[in-house]
A and B are shown apart, each in its own frame.
Chain A
Amino acid sequence: MGQEKRLILENVNFKYSSRNTFFRRAHHQVLYDVSFSLYAGETLGVIGGNGSGKSSLLKVLSGIYQCDSGEIIRNYKKASLLALGIGFDIELTGRENILLSGILLGARRSEVESKLGEIIEFSELDEAMDEPLKTYSSGMRARLGFSIAISLESDLMLIDEVLSVGDNAFRLKAMAAMKERVLSHQSAVFVSHSLRQVEQLCDRTVWLEGGRVRAVDTTSSVISAYRAQQKELASTKS
């Protein structure tokens, strides 16, 4: 592909260390020599079982963690991590939480304020907007969180498990909004447990296993290989 690359990872290693006693530290390596690229306008899925390093990878990409070795070349101005309910304060109103969370996701105050109407409309929570968040159900909070996250613009979206929110009707609406967003020119990395969502949204997919890249290819071929392996594992267990 002769396209421009938004993101290049070369042999990225990442480990946590935890304190056991005064002098002993235990190291848990989470990512081993991870390499792949993300092209402009592409949506890249990341799949793998629990503990395969998906979320850590996303946090390394967003700059929350720094990789211990290897290189990440970033070819964009502004990335945003799409996670729900960042910085929510239950004592504040819905409206105030939109402002706070939007700024924490990297937007300017003026940008969030200009999108306030749009966010409230999408969340379908206009009646509860001036109530404190502690009166919201967890489904309502998740809806508000998703509405904030989807409305903000960035060159690269890093998406972590955000589509399983709210009731069925809202889930469909959220999926449709996400599809519209990523199928346009948005570059995105999408982490999910749901293979069906990855199939619907992602052009290519990375399969992580035990912190190593097992495969990077078109979504259909990676997912069929992944499914075949899952089936095999299930049959050897029984």
Chain B
Amino acid sequence: MHYRDLVSVKLWFNLKSEANKTYLGYLWWLLEPILHVAVFFLVFEKLLQRGGENFLIFLLCGNIPYLWFSKTVSNASNSVLNGRGLITQVPIAKVFFPMMVVLTDLVKQMFVFIFFFLFLILYGQAAQSTWIYVPAIILVELLVIVAFAMLSAAITPFVPDLRHIIPTGLMLVMFGSGIFYSYKDVVSAEYQSWFMMNPMANLIENFRRVIIDGIPPDWFSLAIIALVSGLVIGLMLMLFQRLDTTYAKLVVQ
């Protein structure tokens, strides 16, 4: 199998095929996150009146990175099982399936980030020199996403029950990452360092530092997150290689 050819062809075709299934097509790449943010904004700013200063931008900085993580991990968890048709017909490396999900969602997410920054400027948010650090944080988040996507894709075929647990886990991450609140206001001082062990909470805090506050990111945390994610990715690659033909037997059940 020539994977480079396969990935380049399949990436473009996947995006197209998915867009063809709806009336609004490619617009959904942007509409979906906008709808999510609108719901949060409505509930916290208008209904509960808990928003606080500059809440919309604060919310966007949390929700956009979280939605990327959540969508990719949830799509990846089903990816090997969804690849059943191919797995039982051609010899194909199973790691291809979660990686395809990661790439497809990455392309969409890049458009979301571009529009996010256009919106920031139009909305009147003062541009900060620290915006140049954003790509570095995006890159670290990508590593975290790849690690979790591989992990969930690798385990779900063995324990199909996880399909019911992963959405709950992602909801927990949503509430536990400070998307609509600042952890400094909510979490008591002694637990704040524990809270920051959650990679998504940490990344979101860093996004806010560079986008809103104009402070450089916490490089030490980012380095640790990147390192641990890299380790997990390496381990998962080894696991996928060892279990490659085992998955073919699992998915036919």
Contacts and interface: CB of A to CB of B under 8 A. Distances in A.
Q: Which 7 residue pairs across A and B have the least CB separation, nearest first?
A: A109-B5, A63-B91, A91-B17, A66-B245, A91-B20, A103-B6, A89-B17
Contacts of A107: 2
Given A16-B252, A17-B249, A132-B20, A92 B90 contact: no
A103 B87 contact: no
Given A18-B253, A65-B245, A91 B10 contact: no
Q: Which size class do A's interface residues fall under?
A: 20 to 34
Interface in B163-210: none
B13 A65 contact: no
A117 B2 CA distance: 22
A104 B252 contact: no
20 contacts: A16-B249, A16-B252, A18-B253, A64-B90, A81-B89, A83-B90, A87-B90, A91-B16, A91-B18, A92-B16, A92-B17, A96-B13, A99-B9, A100-B9, A100-B13, A103-B5, A103-B6, A105-B90, A109-B5, A132-B20
Chain B CB within 10 A, most for which of A16, A87, A99: A87
B21 A91 contact: yes
Contacts of B232: none
Given A91-B16, A91-B17, A103 B90 contact: no
Nearest to A87: B86
A237 interface: no
Nearest to A66: B245
Q: Which size class do B's interface residues fall under?
A: 20 to 34
A19 interface: yes
A185 interface: no
Contacts of A9: none
Given A86-B86, A100-B9, A100-B13, 19 more contacts: A16-B252, A17-B249, A62-B90, A63-B91, A63-B245, A64-B88, A64-B245, A65-B248, A81-B91, A83-B89, A86-B90, A100-B10, A103-B1, A103-B9, A104-B90, A105-B90, A106-B1, A108-B5, A132-B20
A64 B9 contact: no
Nearest to B250: A19
Interface in B1-44: 1-2, 5-6, 8-10, 13, 16-18, 20-21
A159 to B, nearest CB: 13
Given A89-B17, A104-B90, A109 B9 contact: yes
Interface string A78-97: 00010100110101100010
Contact of B13 (A59, A66, A89): A89
B215 interface: no
Interface string B223-253: 0000000000000000000000100110011
